[in-house]
Structure 1
Amino acid sequence: MHAKTNTAALTPLALKDAPALIETVFPAQKVSFEAQKERMSGRAQTLTGLGSFWKGRKPLILVRAIVLASLLPPTENPEADLALFEKLMAFDDESLARRALAANAFSVAKLQELIPIPEPERYFGARSWRRDITDDEKLVFYRQALATLASYEAKASIGKRPEEVDEEWLYAPAWSELNRHYAHLGINAHSFSELVEQLGILRYGRRPRVGDTFSGGGSIPFEAARLGCDTYASDLNPIACMLTWGAFNVIGTSAENRSYINEQQTKVAQAVDTEITELGIEHDEHGNRAKAYLYCLEARCPETGWLVPMAPSWIISRFKGVIAVLVPNHKERRFDIKIRSNASAEEIETAESGTVQGESLVYTIDGKVYRTSIRTIRGDYRLAAGETGNKLRPWRKEDFIPKEDDIYQERLYCIHWITKESLNKPRLNTFFAAPTDEDFKREQRVEKIVAENLKKWQELGLTPDMLIEAGYNTTQPIRERGWTHWHHLFNARQIQMLQCILRHGHTTNTWLSSLGILNLQSKLCAWHNDGRKGGLQNVFSSQALNTLYNWGSRGLVDLIDYIQLDTKLSPVRQSLNLTTTPAESLTENSDLWITDPPYADAVNYHEITEFFIAWLRKNPPEPFDKWVWDSRRALAIKGSGEEFRHSMVAAYKAMANHMPDNGMQCVMFTHQNTGVWSDLIGIFWAAGLQVVAAWYIATETTSELKKGGYVQGTVILMLKKRPAGERTGFKQRLLPAVRQEVVRQIESMLHLNDTVKAHHGEPVFNDSDLQMAGYAAALKVLTAYTHIGGEDVTTFALRPRTRGEVTVVDEMVQQAAETASNLLVPEALSTDTWAKLTGIERFMLRMLDMETTGAAKLDNYQNFAKAFHVEDYARVMGDMRPNHARLKRVSEYSSRDLTDSTEIGPTRLGRLIIALQQLSKDTEPQVIVDQMRNEMTDFLEARSVMVDMLAFIEQKSLDSETRSAAEVLGARLKNLRFGE
């Protein structure tokens, strides 16, 4: 550790009125890549161990970039500013080499393959480095090897993430350069905590304070505190507050305190294990222990009267060839379920189709297939008001298993066992088996324990007694299963185990660990049959409360690590002030507010976290007992429209009122609804804030659970207090001002791109960054005014919208997008040609240009389609998966895609696509040219534009046949003599 710097040498408030670096430069592309790298690291992410169910956390690397860039000042040399900032983020080449070395990214064989190494025996043994070779010596070769990789992504992907590398070693080269760069300010720092404190004194006269009033999973205050900022966090939701508390007090605590926590949680785990073992409910008579229990619903078919087990698939483990086989039991008019291992490929294929197929129950008896609608079994009916109901019995508070005459019954059909011999060994030996009579007796023993104790456990707060309140997500279990109380989402085994954990560990840490356990232990945990052994998914694999036909329950063996809070340790440098205050009731001050607020299509956390609140609300330990243990649905900011705008204005006005005049706000939002742009501007207007910058970061990752057109980008808006005084603007004057500011912003960024690209081969900003900067430039102009066209902006922002209304804000934002996009002329096209193209033509050529760089994010296509006024961009898309988006290839267009009734059909580019298709079918070039001349009334004027477009396609197309055809057709059009 370095000695604390003498901050007396600094001039307090010397940067009071200075802009922040993030207002001028920000390496958005590199931050995007690092954010996705962090996302893709799964449980290796620092905070996910506390609660992977909280999906809305922003990546820590993004938060770090925002905090640092908001504190650092720019100089007159933006290229040097950017280079230094990238060093502080570990994005520069030296840091990348260190990150790669920390990951042992190159074997000695690979190094010698990539670069010439004289006297290799001096450095290497047979297969590895010699022991006397230092890291500094290794770095020499790593720097050379990394220089052979073409892109930042290639270099960064092979190394560790910055937070995984020893901080003192990783950033050692940065401090001397930083101190030289800011010598005029008196900065002399050798660690982030020193740098942050010194910057805080220069800007605010003290160490800076970062606040977040929508703290969620806690990533914003946590990362700010790791950097050395004082922090404040609040959230209405007590579960969010628990996660934020845990980030600081479990992951961010000292090694000594963490050792104590581990010791206490181990005692809880041992006590629970002892009780369950003594009850004899998880071990069989041979000493094997259950890893998981598999259950399914059963329903009586009205056609045959048979009781039929329900599951979409009867494959248990595809890898091991384990399936469940239904054997008709004619005497009892039900099915016995046998578990078969080492099933043949044919048997596995048969088991793939379960008894639940779509909305039908499908089963076979004696070769005859029966199919009955599940709606019929459930007794669905339609009410007068257009709502639906069914004949499911509403479960009562004392229920935890179905009644004998309920439509749906529940059945244990398979147990995943750990052999006695492999218990307590690193590698478990497991097998699947159908439950025996003894297993069913153990199941009955658990049900008897719960039946005798449920009322008492509910009174003590060890088991929920809370009603499920109907809502967007919470109506589903009521409607689909008849469950009315939260404990109905758990079976007897799960209730018994969960109360046991809470009873033996009435501490903050056990309450915290219970969040992860609840996410793993309910009737909403689906069994997946892929992978080496199969396994159970989490409740919140998707942010919903999806009921299941078959599910699993974990044995204690599978939950021990969660009781023991087996998470990372990453100490924070400062403490946290945490409250459950609504954002609009804020009383705390911060210099920098960083928020990721709810918006348009936000997850309904206030509803789905009642799943956790129901278990923990009655008897929480200190300090959780001081919080409001309710989702406070009425206070939650949600949805869109009038209520959303009013709530957001109150929240952001409160934050503006609780920051200094030179303070800043950062608002992050992942936009799926483009209408939210206008809403947000109105909100900031009414809150007295002015947009000063916007950046676009790719933060989200795709998964099999995210099918369709999910936007994956986060917009970072930077705001300051609007200068005092009245300022009136009129539309006819604002439009030119917006255009001028957009041009100024884009041209300055393009200039920096060219400068950096000349030195390093890669630009700083991509098209999405530049387009977002165009939005920001417009918003910067607009939000500086207090009146637009004589109307007070607060009144304007909050007045109700009429359907289809296009406001002045909508017009300005749209014009900004168009102005920015028009400036982004692809390098291989002339400005003159670009000016003559239609919106759909610009869209297709711009996206073709982006595809050559490997860009495949669907949100890029969405953003540019909007900017170029493309009505139906999906019509020209060949793939619309979030991370694999692309345009149609020339060969993929059908004749109906290119008619005059489509956007692309009547255009010059549409005609060229037809021509290129004809060439690929061996039509003579001259015949094609003659057809074009006869069919196109503007052929003479269009020829030069088409020649330019064909040259572009020849250079950019990813299809070799199209490139060749474009070359032939372009040459024929270019050399055409009209006198012939």
Structure 2
Amino acid sequence: MTDSNRRRKLIEVALPLDEINAACKADKDRKTGTIRNLHKWFAPMPLPAWRALLFAALVDDPADDNQRVYLLDLVKRLVENGAGLPDEETLEEAKAILAKQFPGGVPTVMDPFCGGGSTLVEAQRLGLPSFGSDLNPVPALISRTLTQVLPRVAGRMATAPEAGSDPNGAALFGVDGHRNDPFHGLREDVAYLAKQIRDRAWKRLSHLYPLGDHENPVAWLWARTARCPNPACGIETILATTWWLSKKRGNLAWIEPRVVDGRVELDVVSGLAHGEAPASPKIGDGVFACVSCRTPLDGAHLRELGARGDVGFRLTAVAVEVGGARKYRAATAVDMEAADVHSEDDAFADVPLDPDAMGVRVGGYGVSTWRQLFSGRQFLTLTSFADLIAETHDELLNRGVAREWADAVASLLTLSLGKMAQYNSTQCRWLLRPTAEAKVVSAFDRNDLPMMWDFAETSFMSESVGGWLLQVTTGLRALSYVVPNGRGAVVRQDARLVSSVPERGLVATDPPYFDAIGYADLSDYFYLWHRRALRRVFPDLYATAATPKTGELTASPSHHGGARAARDYFVSGFTEVFAGAQQSLGEGLPMLVVYASKEQKGGRGEETRWASILTAMLGADLEITGTWPIHGTGSARMRGIGSNAVAAYIVMVCRPRPATSTTCSLSEFNRALRRELGPAVRDLQAASILPVDLAQAAMGPGMQIYSRYRAVLDQAGRAVPVEQALRLINAALAEVLEEQEGELDAESRFAVRWWETYGWNAGSFGDADKTVRPLGISVDDVVRAQVVTSQGNRVQLLGNGNLDYKWVPSADVRPTAWEAVHHLAHRLIDRGGELEAARLMAVLGNLQDPAMALVYRLHDIAAKKGRTGDQERYNALINSWSELIKLAGDSSVTSEGLF
């Protein structure tokens, strides 16, 4: 097929982006009962997105409006159940279309960075065979379990004679009682064996978990300790970040330290309705004051102590349940003695932790091995469970159980162990909540390993957070998403070998995000336990003592001798990957590459990340033929501008660049940018792309223009590099936003200019008069429009405080987009939430569109000015915009007569 008559795929023409993003948001909002509950993986792509993207990448665009509308409606129906699975009738309809599209047999979907397996699972759901690979054994195990191990045992009966004997076991472990569940038997076996392992573990470990009278332990709370550097003091001080144990209203609890004979004693106050904890010893970032003499212990001193092994731990309090009520008490001598244990097992002693790895923050304080991330009791517990899982696998085989079944059981139990490890290390923090009991938050809350000065330890016997049976329960719920008749294979393999796959097909992948996450380094946290349990089950995954670091395609400076060398390695490696992937493409099929950045504020860091992946794509002679922004967060993400959580994924549709492609001049490229970027940005805004992600999303259509040419040449005839093209795209985006500002009412245009200069501060009347006159209005006009106040020769914007919650445009003599934006934000964030804001949205009329454009413009200014709080408010408003529009059209919401 020649370039000129190549059929475009649906994904290169249209997608129902609103519906896909709504489904992704629902998927992220669901915390339990999803594929993510099987095991932790980093920045997983939502299942509904892959389902829609794969289908749209395989079917031809019909070039007929009616037929296209039908296909788009089918894509909508594939994702309309949000986090749930599509209706069976819809799936069969989609499969029939794919079978007609490929009469010789549907293609294989290949993902050389298979991660959490969502690409492969959704390929199988559409009736497509899948092939996945990953250099990292942790994602390889997750994906292999989902798409290779489990489908092979679907429909089989339980093997343990006692598995179904417990009438409560089925409900406890997510077995819903429907005998047509293809994994009912497997669930029963895993449920029975998990309880058996727990009971065996208790026999081995019960002496480490003493129980008080009528007490059920919730958590043991710890803090690090260090010797005070003051020679006149010298006590072992407590490096606690807070003395609070509970902030729940009506059940306040805290620690009160006192120094007795050179030792810090810790008293616990619990169950109060009023009161205040003592001031925290933490007096700065990584700086603590001695509990006794207040001498500071700064970061340099603590790092020096840590390197010498002189930073210790202290059990500070115990959270328990007594008669169903949460209580807190001081740690007893029995508690301390039970926790003060050490293992003679040296299996992990020589597994180092790279202190300079991406996301690793503990190394500077002397944590040099993975074993040091776990207390002695936690280490013994996890080791015992790993050994018991390996023993269970052997016992199943000795009992004559089929190897495929034993492998499936061991895989599920080991993945549950990995999740339990998340709740059993010194990385677990104690989260204080004002309206609920405090709880343990697992490791990798932010995909990194920060220095935790205090941490919470759970019990494997617990029926809640951190408990073994809970991990198994949630893991088994993920089986509802497994395709029982799926056909697939997953191998541990370098992505650069993607061209060696046995069949050509569709390459769709979500590769590493440059230096956003240290996948291999962080994966050792799980790998050590996985390997101990499964080394004999999957020897191909566990040949090394730690996860392979050499060959990982991330830009880790610690792996490659510096940032420049790491970037060069990343670019050359991915150029090789994309070149090889082209050889694996089936005829007429595109390649899908998903990319995102942890850096949500723009700047040179983000430019480097994007320039690197794009340079590799263009170096492999790929052309970007379509880009789509996909929501990567749930509706709860109204804050966190500075976090490294992925907010939006950018899906790039790529094809080999046509041999007929030509060069163009820099001026031609700039003209094309200005001609094509404006409509593309409006489409992104109409899809409610978050303002914080707009710059990333706009790179897509900009790079579509850039990549269609073999080269863009400057006046000297030199090729314009990707970095310069990205800067030109950002400049063009700024012009688009400024042009949209010009479409606003005059009062709002004044407000934008005033806010850019003064923010929420007051300025002189004279400056306001100079600003407003070129707009054809006066300061008095802006005051009457309720955009500013003018008092004592000072002018100040309205919108950053308590606003009249009864405001509606119809009651305003001069309603403006500025007022609409800030009243919406006020109602959404400060009072009433989405329902209250939707009632206002319903009556905005023709202010809706300019208000949306204004939000993007204000966010752009806030980002450039470093006004993080304002960024978060505007981002939150757009994050809810589509939901507000939806609710505004609901008569039950808008007919209450509140206005």
Give TM-score scaled by structure 2 length.
0.70
Q: 1:583 aligns with which of 495, 498, 509?
A: 495
- Cα distance in structure 1, aligned partners of 2:790 and 2:632: 47
- Cα distance in structure 2, aligned partners of 1:91 and 1:687: 33
1:413, CA displacement in angstroms?
Answer: 2.8
Superposition pairs of residues 169-208 of structure 1, within 5 angstroms? 171=90, 190-201=92-103, 205-208=104-107
Residues 583-611 of structure 1 deviation map (CA, whole Å, 9 limit, x = unaligned) = 22221144222222223452121221122
Q: Which amino acid is the alignment partner of residue 516 of structure 1?
A: K
Superposition pairs of residues 97-136 of structure 1, within 5 angstroms? none
SS at match of 1:206: coil
Correspondence for 1:3: none
Residues 423-464 of structure 1 deviation map (CA, whole Å, 9 limit, x = unaligned) = xxxxx55543323333334335xx1xx44x323xx2xxxx55
Counterpart contact for 1:251–1:568, Cα < 8 Å: no
Superposition pairs of residues 241-256 of structure 1, within 5 angstroms? 241-248=140-147, 254=154, 255-256=181-182
Correspondence for 2:831: none
SS at match of 1:412: strand
- Cα distance in structure 1, aligned partners of 2:700 and 2:288: 54
Superposition pairs of residues 535-614 of structure 1, within 5 angstroms? 535-557=439-461, 558-563=467-472, 565-569=475-479, 570-572=481-483, 573-586=485-498, 587-588=500-501, 589-614=503-528
1:828, CA displacement in angstroms?
Answer: 6.7
Cα distance, 1:76–1:548 mapped onto 2, change above 3 Å? closer
SS at match of 1:539: coil
1:612, CA displacement in angstroms?
Answer: 2.1
Correspondence for 1:339: 268
Correspondence for 1:58: 45
Correspondence for 1:124: none
Correspondence for 2:237: 308
Correspondence for 1:717: 652
1:326 is the counterpart of 2:256: yes
Q: How many residues align?
A: 724
1:772, CA displacement in angstroms?
Answer: 8.7
1:245, CA displacement in angstroms?
Answer: 2.2
SS at match of 1:607: helix
Correspondence for 1:864: none
SS at match of 2:478: coil
Residues 141-174 of structure 1 deviation map (CA, whole Å, 9 limit, x = unaligned) = xxxxxxxxxxxxxxxxxxx526256x236x4xxx
Correspondence for 2:662: 727
Unaligned runs of at least 5 residues, structure 1: 1-11, 96-159, 172-188, 381-388, 396-405, 423-427, 754-761, 846-872, 878-887, 929-949, 968-980
Q: Which amino acid is the alignment partner of residue 638 of structure 1?
A: T
Q: 1:31 aligns with which of 12, 17, 20?
A: 20
Correspondence for 2:706: 782
- Cα distance in structure 2, aligned partners of 1:601 and 1:906: 46
Cα distance, 1:263–1:416 mapped onto 2, change above 3 Å? farther
SS at match of 2:306: coil
1:85, CA displacement in angstroms?
Answer: 1.9
Counterpart contact for 1:841–1:907, Cα < 8 Å: no
Q: Which amino acid is the alignment partner of residue 71 of structure 1?
A: L
Residues 237-265 of structure 1 deviation map (CA, whole Å, 9 limit, x = unaligned) = 21121222233367767345553354245
SS at match of 1:505: helix
Cα distance, 1:783–1:293 mapped onto 2, change above 3 Å? same
Counterpart contact for 1:196–1:208, Cα < 8 Å: no
Residues 829-881 of structure 1 deviation map (CA, whole Å, 9 limit, x = unaligned) = 7xxx9xxx9xx969959xxxxxxxxxxxxxxxxxxxxxxxxxxx99479xxxx
- Cα distance in structure 2, aligned partners of 1:709 and 1:443: 34
1:479 is the counterpart of 2:370: no
Two-structure CA RMSD over aligned residues (Å): 4.7
Correspondence for 1:375: 298
Correspondence for 2:65: 78
Q: Comparing 765-774 with 583-592, which one deviates more in the overlay?
A: 765-774
1:292 is the counterpart of 2:194: no
Residues 525-584 of structure 1 deviation map (CA, whole Å, 9 limit, x = unaligned) = 111232533221111111111222221211112222224644322231422221222222
Superposition pairs of residues 900-979 of structure 1, within 5 angstroms? 908=774, 916-917=782-783, 953=817, 958=822
Q: 1:621 aligns with which of 529, 535, 555?
A: 535
Q: Which amino acid is the alignment partner of residue 243 of structure 1?
A: I
- Cα distance in structure 1, aligned partners of 2:478 and 2:12: 34
Correspondence for 1:686: 619
- Cα distance in structure 1, aligned partners of 2:442 and 2:369: 20
- Cα distance in structure 1, aligned partners of 2:97 and 2:622: 28
Correspondence for 2:37: 49
- Cα distance in structure 2, aligned partners of 1:675 and 1:907: 42
1:56, CA displacement in angstroms?
Answer: 0.8
Correspondence for 2:354: 469
- Cα distance in structure 1, aligned partners of 2:734 and 2:142: 42
Q: Which amino acid is the alignment partner of residue 477 of structure 2?
A: T
Correspondence for 1:22: 11
Q: Comparing 299-308 with 733-742, which one deviates more in the overlay?
A: 733-742
Counterpart contact for 1:56–1:217, Cα < 8 Å: no
Correspondence for 2:552: 636
Counterpart contact for 1:213–1:233, Cα < 8 Å: yes
Residues 358-381 of structure 1 deviation map (CA, whole Å, 9 limit, x = unaligned) = 24434666xxxx3222228x736x
Q: Which amino acid is the alignment partner of residue 75 of structure 1?
A: P
- Cα distance in structure 2, aligned partners of 1:767 and 1:495: 42
Cα distance, 1:814–1:321 mapped onto 2, change above 3 Å? closer
Correspondence for 2:762: 894
Q: Which amino acid is the alignment partner of residue 246 of structure 2?
A: S
Cα distance, 1:579–1:954 mapped onto 2, change above 3 Å? closer
- Cα distance in structure 2, aligned partners of 1:874 and 1:250: 58
Q: Comparing 950-959 with 691-700, which one deviates more in the overlay?
A: 950-959
1:342, CA displacement in angstroms?
Answer: 1.6
1:777, CA displacement in angstroms?
Answer: 5.3
1:915, CA displacement in angstroms?
Answer: 6.4
Using the aligned pairs only, state the percent identity: 16
Counterpart contact for 1:693–1:717, Cα < 8 Å: yes
1:440 is the counterpart of 2:336: yes
Cα distance, 1:256–1:280 mapped onto 2, change above 3 Å? farther
Counterpart contact for 1:230–1:576, Cα < 8 Å: yes
Cα distance, 1:741–1:708 mapped onto 2, change above 3 Å? closer
Correspondence for 1:402: none
Cα distance, 1:475–1:719 mapped onto 2, change above 3 Å? closer
Q: Which amino acid is the alignment partner of residue 343 of structure 1?
A: L
Q: Which has the larger radius of gyration?
A: 1
Correspondence for 1:513: 416
Correspondence for 1:237: 136
SS at match of 2:84: helix
Cα distance, 1:651–1:344 mapped onto 2, change above 3 Å? same
- Cα distance in structure 1, aligned partners of 2:764 and 2:525: 50
Cα distance, 1:80–1:354 mapped onto 2, change above 3 Å? same
- Cα distance in structure 2, aligned partners of 1:488 and 1:472: 16
Q: Which amino acid is the alignment partner of residue 722 of structure 1?
A: R
Q: Comparing 583-592 with 252-261, which one deviates more in the overlay?
A: 252-261
Counterpart contact for 2:595–2:649, Cα < 8 Å: yes
SS at match of 1:668: strand
Residues 296-323 of structure 1 deviation map (CA, whole Å, 9 limit, x = unaligned) = 2233323323333332222222226253
SS at match of 1:624: coil
SS at match of 1:61: helix
SS at match of 2:245: strand
Q: 2:84 aligns with which of 159, 163, 177?
A: 163
Q: 2:313 aligns with which of 404, 410, 414?
A: 410
Counterpart contact for 1:265–1:510, Cα < 8 Å: no
SS at match of 1:696: strand
Cα distance, 1:563–1:956 mapped onto 2, change above 3 Å? closer
Q: Which amino acid is the alignment partner of residue 313 of structure 1?
A: T
1:277, CA displacement in angstroms?
Answer: 4.0
Counterpart contact for 1:726–1:787, Cα < 8 Å: no
1:17, CA displacement in angstroms?
Answer: 4.0
Superposition pairs of residues 853-892 of structure 1, within 5 angstroms? 875=756, 892=760
Q: Which amino acid is the alignment partner of residue 209 of structure 2?
A: E
